[in-house]
Amino acid sequence: MSLVHLIILLIIVIVIAVVIALVMMNQENQRLQRQREVIMGKNAAVNAKRSNKDDPNKRRADIAKKLRDEKEDGLEAKKKEKQSTRALLAQAGLSISVRQFGLMSVLSMVVFTFLANAMGQPIFVVICASVVGLFGFPRFIVKKMAARRQKGFLEEFPDALEATVRLLKAGMPVAEAVAMISKEYDGPVGEEMSRIYDKQKIGIPLHEAALEATYRMPLPEMQMFATGLSIQAQTGSSLSEVLLNLSNVIRSRFRLKRKVKALSSEAVASASIIGALPVLVATGMYFVNYDYISVLFNDPFGNVLLGGAIFWMACGIFVMKVMINFKI
């Protein structure tokens, strides 16, 4: 098979991967939109329409509608920008610019290409290594850092909310309570609360600073926190009760996540074994009978078969991951 055929095959694989990624992004955006509708009070508005004589429900529905109208444009912009490189770097807590990240990606591509050439791999493998080094590996590392930062934030956020409730009940203003939390807690919670307090000191309202923090910490819990501050700022309602309920919800979600993880552990183990089995067998065959498996590396048609096997194995692992990945 000629080089042109290999390039065409690579383009087809990339197009399929892009289509799958777009479908996943669309599903994720729909899920986030449903969460935002719940957080911003769409369900409360529906319930209020059903009972027009219930004045408290009507009032809450009006407040939720007002908040939703004010933040609709900002939420749409954040939804489009969420997957951008700048947002990803902010979520990972990195202070580098997009230009610096691009230079690191180019450096990663050079390293991957050099290693593939040094090992004497065919042009198809070199092209795949270059693409992975440029687009795959750097973003994978940054996404892992962002996920770890969000996990650390959620582990300390309920305690921080309960501490805020105690400070508010003691008579401390909301802004000073946020400042105290930023000093008492390290890690992502302290960083985000410190940024919220610094924004408030330069004249930005506290609830707008918290809403801006959802750009760096795109979690439903953080969005609920920002919405609670917005309602408190416009209505003067009891913020301590809202934060206490939010803390209980976060702890309940943690318990449910641990239960789901325990129930799906068997499926995770099966998926890991099935995904690792071809790699282990191929590695063993490489050392035991190299002449038998060398056709996949030396023959052009063998390269195509190897690429197809890797692609379909990746699709199978992806499907199994989706089946065991429960959104809570």
Q: Who has greater pLDDT, 49 or 205?
A: 205
Ranked by mean pLDDT, the top range of 40-54, 132-146, 163-177 is 132-146
Please state at what angle helix 174-184 crosses helix 206-216, rounded to 10 degrees. 40
Give the dihedral sign, CA 296/297/302/304.
positive
Residue 5 has pLDDT above 70, yes or no: no
Contact status, residue 145 vs residue 92, Cβ threshold 8 Å? yes
Average pLDDT, the chain: 77
Residue 42 has pLDDT above 80, yes or no: no
Q: Is 121 helix (H, G, I), strand (E, B) or coil?
A: coil
Provide the Cα torsion 263, 269, 272, 274; round to 10°: -110
CA dist 278 → 275, 287, 309 (Å): 7, 15, 10
Residue 36's pLDDT band (cuts 50, 70, 90): low
Domain positions in the chain: 150-251, 264-328
pLDDT in tens, 246-260: 888 888 887 888 888
Please state at what angle helix 300-324 crosses helix 265-288, rounded to 10 degrees. 160
Q: 275-280: which pairs have CB atoms within 8 A and are 24 or more residues apart?
A: 275/313, 275/316, 275/317, 275/320, 278/309, 278/313
Tally of CB atoms within 10 A around 171: 6
What is the residue type of 129?
A
C-alpha to C-alpha distance for 123 and 131, rounded to whole angstroms: 12
Token reading at 206: 């506290």
Cα-only R_g, the chain = 25
C-alpha to C-alpha distance for 127 and 116, rounded to whole angstroms: 9
Tally of CB atoms within 10 A around 101: 18
Residue 199 has pLDDT above 80, yes or no: yes
Indicate whether this model's pTM tops 0.85: no
Would you call 209 exposed, middle or buried from its count of C-beta atoms within 10 A (0-12, 13-18, 19+)?
A: buried
Residue 55's pLDDT band (cuts 50, 70, 90): low
Residue 325 has pLDDT above 50, yes or no: yes
pLDDT in tens, 215-247: 888 888 888 888 878 877 777 667 778 788 888
Residue 47's pLDDT band (cuts 50, 70, 90): very low
Q: Which residue has the tokens 């479908």?
A: 23
In the chain, the percentage of residues whose pLDDT exceeds 90 is: 2
Residue 159 has pLDDT above 60, yes or no: yes
What is the model's pLDDT at position 4? 58
pLDDT in tens, 68-124: 554 554 444 444 444 578 888 888 888 888 888 888 988 988 888 888 888 877 787
Give 324's contacts (C-beta < 8 A, 6+ positions apart): 264, 267, 268, 271
CATH of region 150-251: 1.20.81
What is the model's pLDDT at position 77? 45
Contact status, residue 61 vs residue 47, Cβ threshold 8 Å? yes
Tally of CB atoms within 10 A around 160: 22
C-alpha to C-alpha distance for 200 and 178, rounded to whole angstroms: 10
What is the model's pLDDT at position 307? 83
C-alpha to C-alpha distance for 69 and 231, rounded to whole angstroms: 14
Q: Who has greater pLDDT, 134 or 21?
A: 134
Distance from CA of residue 28 to its chain's centroid? 10
Please compute the mean of the pLDDT values over residues 150-164 and round it to a whole number: 86
